[in-house]
Amino acid sequence: MSLSYTASAPDRHRLAELLDQQMWFFGRDIQHPEGNLLLRFGFARERPPAGVSGTSRYTLATPVGSLTLWGWGAHWCDDQPLALLMRRHGPGPRLVSAAAPLDHVWAHTALTGTRAAVGAEWARVGALLAAFAGWVHTYERWVRETCGESWRSDCAALRPRHVRRKQLVAGERYVRSWQQMARTVLASA
């Protein structure tokens, strides 16, 4: 099964599964017994203002772009006009203006102007997805070097049993799947 960014159902399913599992791992990393791994990695955390519904926002500048994480999804942006938004339990990858401010976004409903890619824009989605997948692979290597292999195994074991049974990718294959996705998407773009 290809891991490319195209609109085929198996690819979207694989991306949705990888993203859902990664978001679970980010959530577990926040609760690490020795402190929040996202903060240790260099993310900045902002909590929603009083009276505003939503999840904390984590932001990180990388050499190739910026990443914003919420409990419900991820926003990857580089120096181009369009950014990538991936919702954990929403439609496949969406494009959004890179200039769209995120300072008021705590819930997915607050981010307006997202849309599916059309035609030649799939190449842009591919480039953004490849960069994000490459970053995830780097982050996962860091987690394993910092916390040991058992941390990810423990995180995976804590997922609800009905979710674990449906997973197509588990264990070390999970990290390789992100790396493979990055390579496949770059080759296809």
**Helices and strands per DSSP (H, E), number in the chain:** 6, 6
Q: In the block, which residue shows the tokens 């994480």?
A: 69
Assigned token pair, 184 = 């496949």
Cβ-contact 182, 15 below 8 angstroms: no
- Between vectors from CA 79 to CA 75 and to CA 84, what angle results, nearest 5°? 25
Is 87 a domain residue? yes
Structural domain for 66, as ranges: 9-188
Is 180 a domain residue? yes
Interval 76-126: pLDDT, tens: 999 888 999 999 988 778 999 998 889 999 999 888 888 888 888 888 888
Is 172 a domain residue? yes
Side chain identity at residue 173, one-letter code? R
End-to-end Cα separation, the chain, in angstroms: 18
CA distances from 24 to 39, 117, 128, 144, 189 (A): 16, 26, 21, 16, 28
pTM here is 0.86
Is 2 a domain residue? no
> What's residue 162's pLDDT?
61
> What's residue 90's pLDDT?
81
Domain count for the chain: 1
Is 155 a domain residue? yes
Q: Is the pLDDT of residue 56 over 60?
A: yes
Is 171 a domain residue? yes
Is 135 a domain residue? yes
> What's residue 10's pLDDT?
42
- Top-confidence range, 10-19, 23-32, 85-94, 122-131: 23-32
Interval 132-188: pLDDT, tens: 988 998 999 999 999 998 998 888 888 887 665 555 555 556 667 777 766 666 565
Is 1 a domain residue? no
Q: Is the pLDDT of residue 55 over 70?
A: yes
In DSSP notation, 39-106 reads HHHT-EEEPPPTT--S--EEEEEETTEEEEEETTEEEEE-SSSEEEEEETTSSS-EEEETTS--TT-S
